Structures are given as C-alpha cells and as structure tokens.
Structure 1
Amino acid sequence: MSEDLNPAVVLGSFLGQPALRLRAPDGASATVLLHGGHVVSWIPAGGEEQLYLSPSANYGAGAAIRGGVPVIFPQFNERGPLPRHGLVRTRSWQATESVLRAGHAIGVLRFTDDIATRVHWPYRFELELTVSLAGKELDLELAVTNTGDKPFSFQAALHTYLRCIDPTKLQVEGLQGCDFEDNAPDATHKTGQQWGDVLTLAGPIDRVYRQVNRALTLREIGRKASIAMQGFDDVVIWNPGESGAAKIADLPDDDWQHFLCIEAARIAEPVQLAPGEEWAGMQHLRA
C-alpha cells in the first residue's frame, strides 16, 4: 500500500484469529486481533518482540487473552458489578482503517455497544483504538465517545505486558513521589508513597500508582524502554510472582519471569462523560 491512499482494511490471521497486520516501511510491525481489539505483537524496526503473550492463552468467543495489550473498559478488575476488566476484551471489534502515512503504519479498530453489552451496562458508547508505529515507537490511543442520551462514568486501561528477561533484576524509574494502592496478597500496607526513584521487584506486585505525570523508564541488562501516558492518570504495575502464577490457569508456572505489566490506566478517578462527549487516552512506548 502506498502512502496517503484511501484507507483499506488489511486483514490476515494470527493463530487462526482474524487480525490486522501493520508493517511500517522501516520494518516495524504489529499485530492486532479483532477479538478484543487486542495487540498481540510489537516488533520495532531492527528489533525483537517487545510484548509477552502466554503460550497457554485462550482464543475465540468469550475468551480473555493472556498477554499483549488487553483493552480494559468500562471497569477495571473487579471494582464494580461488571465482568472482570469490563466488557470489550472478550468481544469482536471491527477493523475500520489501515494506512501508511509519513512513514507510520496506522490501524484503527472500533467497538460499538450492542444488546449484549447493554444487558450488563445500559449505556450507548463507541470505542476507537488507534495503533501507530514506526522505528522504535508504538502509540496506542483509546478514544471513548458517549453516543447515548445519558451521562456515564468509566474506568479504562491498556493492560500492557512488556516482555523481560528477569523481572527481579529490572528497574522502573519515574514513580518517585507518587502515591500508590497496594493490592498484592502479602501487602502489609494497602497504601503508600514511592520514596525512591527506582522501583525493583522482590516478589509479587500489584500496585495502582496515582497521578503519574511523567514518563517512566524500564531498565534491565541490555535493554531500556520508555513508557509515557496522556489522558491516563494512573499506572498499574503488576506481576503475579511465582506463587500467583501457579494459580493462573492460562499462564505457565514459570512464565511470571518473562514479563512485567506497566499499564496506562484511569482508575482512581473515573472519567465522567456527558452525552456527545469524547475522551481519549494514549500510551507511548519506545524500545
């Protein structure tokens, strides 16, 4: 496809699932499943896979895929009456655009409410996930529009599983001074503040950091990555550790050693959206 032609949906497959495959002129590539609007692969130009995807992941109707970048909406985890992590990660999206522009490969997927979602959540809405990549960078933008006649509030997240060599030897920088809520099973204090600029992992971690207004840096031997957010005020840092992984059916027992979730999120203060209004949040990743 040449630059700036009319958008065309370029569909392929991934493990038997319909997928939008994006490839920039410099070789950077990404794969997005229509199921869940779920990014399952990101390979920067000249690099290697940056996302973790469980080899035991489930696919198909109703499945929540373990790994990649699940889209969480309109509820985070079990913080409300809806199914865990909301309504859209287990349903089919529509690929609406795939184009090369200014050296970037860009894909857009859309999800619109239907009778099945309104059984759980009686609101009309539309989501668009825009995936843009080139070189060493990947941008993910989630836009939410209230298409109904009633206001609603929601939580949202891009639940990004970043591949790593050993989470116990990596460092996350940029969280200094941020308050957090600690949801790890063995947490002695449910709230706290990040005093040092370097976060390291000594075991399972499940924290929601609030009001994170700066980019984060992930460092490990031979690798450095940056994560920046816009519109998402919170960051979730999650790894189940050895004990937690053993309880997760779609995660091999030892695979907790191969990823760290750094999630752009809006949790502590849900977004309030009036009829006709739109909200957008972005996660920018650089390998």
Structure 2
Amino acid sequence: MASVKPTEYNGHPAVALQSSDGARATILLHGGHLVSWVPAGGQEQLYVSPTSEYGEGQAVRGGVPVIFPQFSSRGTLPRHGLLRTRGWQLVEMPSHGKHAQAVLRFVADDRTRALWPHEFEAEITVSLIGQQLDIEFAVTNTGDAGFEFAVALHSYLRTNDVLKAQLEGLQGVKYEDNTTGQWQQQWGDVTQVVGEVDRLYHDAPSPLTLRELGRKVSIAQSGFTDVVVWNPGPVKAAQLDDLPDDDWQKMLCVEAARVIDPVTLSPGDEWAGMQTFIAG
C-alpha cells in the first residue's frame, strides 16, 4: 500500500511518501520543500547541497524550492519571494490507490502581509508512483483585491557530470540570458553546460528531456509558460557558502516558471501549475 508518514530530514520535520511499488519522496515542512525523489527501483533524482542551511528564515539549497510571489530579485521582496523560508502545514494525506500523495498548505499571516499586503492560500501537492513524480503548486486569492505574482518550481536535478549532460527540446525558443541581460534564440536542440548558465526561456515547449549516459528524465509542465535553466558554473559556485565548490557539476536546475507574463488573480480565484518528471 501507499504510505505517507511523518519523518525528519536533517533533524527537521518532514513527510515521507512511498507508493505501493516502492517509489519514495521526502518533503520538508519548512518551505513545502521537496528534498528527495527516488523512483521505483531507481536512484535519487534530486540534488541537495550537503552544506545547505535549514530552519526558520533559511533557504534550502537544492531539491525543489517554491518560488512565490517574486522570482529572483525582480521586485522589492526578498529574493525568490516569501514561501521557501517559512513553515508549512501538512493538511491532507489522501489515498489514491497505488499513488502516494501529500498536500501542504501555507496561509498568509502577519509576517507575509508586512512584506506583501495580500491575502492568499498556497498549496503544494506531491504525488508519485513508479517512475513518475507530479508537483502541483496552487494559489487562491482569499482577499478582496486582485494581485499579480510570479511563480516557479526551482527544481535541482541530479547529474553524474553536468558537463556531459544534455537538455533536449528547446530548439527555436527565445530566452533571456541573465548573464548578459540580452534576449537570444536557441538554434540547436541541445542545451549544454560549459560554464555559468542562467536562462529564462519564454513560451517553452513540453516535455523536455535531460539525458546523460545511462539515464534520462522527461520534464513536462502545465500552467507554467516559462522554463528556467540554471547552473552557477565553477566561478559563481565558489562564491556560494551553501554549495561545495565542485558540486555545480552534480546538478542542473530545470524550473517550471511563470515570470515573463505574471499571473493576475482576482478575489476568490485560483491558479495552479504542475511540473511532472518521468525517470527512464
């Protein structure tokens, strides 16, 4: 049977999911943050930095941080918004046959209102079975005024050697290169890391495929319109206190995002987006 059980991750409260076929995942209550995904019969698919910091006010380096309502430093809020550094509540552990699923919720409070004066409820739903993992983020406007937001699932995918990995499926897509501030168009089908990569692809297709020797992961999304591809490269990695200098080679971020055209949400309305991974 599928199971959802309270657990700890690096000494912090978490939820452990296991589907009936043995697929496993772990979600921190801090940040509603997925930190582990092991497909049935497979190996860990997510990267989490061994030097990451945990606890109130800290942002975990790796896994799948939830970015809302601001992406990066594109606004006046703290970097990447309000949710990844705060505690969430486990509200539901539904039974869906062989699937294992957990729902975590965050509700606007006085601390978020002091920074962003809006009423909202956010939910992250993680569901897994076999080789597939679904991550859905939903937000409801519970106030009496509309608001606008950006959102992303900042997924860190593990690589054996990012220099030999290939991300396929972005041929012809325009992207904002955040290392130069310029817009460009990708001509080839394969994206490879040879140094720092920080690209925001607009109107990105789905699915994409991350491929390396003996392994591939299909990456699909719905509701999100953008894809962020990020790796700090050796120079920037050396400047990050919560990332070992050489660990930039062990991961590639492929993020489902809605940044270029933010979401406008009227009172009482809900928006939801999903990112799906299938290991092969």
TM-score, normalising length from structure 1? 0.95
Partner of 2:259: 267
**What is the RMSD computed on CA atoms of the aligned residues?**
1.2
Instruction: Provide the C-alpha distance between the structure 2 equivalents of 1:65 and 1:139, rounded to a whole number of angstroms.
Output: 20
Instruction: Provide the C-alpha distance between the structure 1 equivalents of 2:232 and 2:24, rounded to a whole number of angstroms.
Output: 29
Partner of 1:27: 22
Partner of 1:136: 131
Instruction: Provide the C-alpha distance between the structure 2 equivalents of 1:270 and 1:261, rounded to a whole number of angstroms.
Output: 21
Partner of 1:213: 205
Q: Secondary structure at the match of 1:10?
A: strand
Alignment equivalent of 2:191, drawn from 184, 191, 199: 199
1:1-287, aligned counterparts within 5 Å? 10-184=5-179, 187=180, 190-287=182-279
TM-score, normalising length from structure 2? 0.97
Q: Which amino acid aligns with 2:65?
A: P
Instruction: Provide the C-alpha distance between the structure 2 equivalents of 1:260 and 1:196, rounded to a whole number of angstroms.
Output: 19
Q: Is the 8 A contact 2:174 2:185 kept in 1?
A: yes
- Residues 74-100 of structure 1: per-residue CA shift (max 9 Å, x gap): 000000000000000000000011233
Q: Is the 8 A contact 1:22 1:98 kept in 2?
A: no
The runs of at least 4 consecutive aligned structure 1 residues that moved more than 6 Å come to none
Report the CA distance between 1:36 and its aligned residue: 0.1
Q: Is the 8 A contact 2:196 2:236 kept in 1?
A: yes
Report the CA distance between 1:10 and its aligned residue: 3.0
Q: Which amino acid aligns with 2:11?
A: G
Q: Is the 8 A contact 1:9 1:96 kept in 2?
A: no
Matched residues, percent identical?
Answer: 59
Q: Secondary structure at the match of 2:144?
A: coil
Q: Is the 8 A contact 2:140 2:271 kept in 1?
A: yes
- Residues 225-281 of structure 1: per-residue CA shift (max 9 Å, x gap): 100010010000000000010010100001001000000000000000000000000
Report the CA distance between 1:201 and its aligned residue: 1.6
Report the CA distance between 1:9 and its aligned residue: 6.8
Q: Which runs of 5+ in 1 are unaligned?
A: none
Q: Is the 8 A contact 1:9 1:95 kept in 2?
A: no
Aligned residues: 279
Q: Is the 8 A contact 2:208 2:218 kept in 1?
A: yes
Instruction: Provide the C-alpha distance between the structure 2 equivalents of 1:9 and 1:54, rounded to a whole number of angstroms.
Output: 25
Report the CA distance between 1:214 and its aligned residue: 2.1
Q: Is the 8 A contact 1:36 1:92 kept in 2?
A: yes
Q: Is the 8 A contact 1:107 1:131 kept in 2?
A: yes
Instruction: Provide the C-alpha distance between the structure 2 equivalents of 1:232 and 1:102, rounded to a whole number of angstroms.
Output: 28
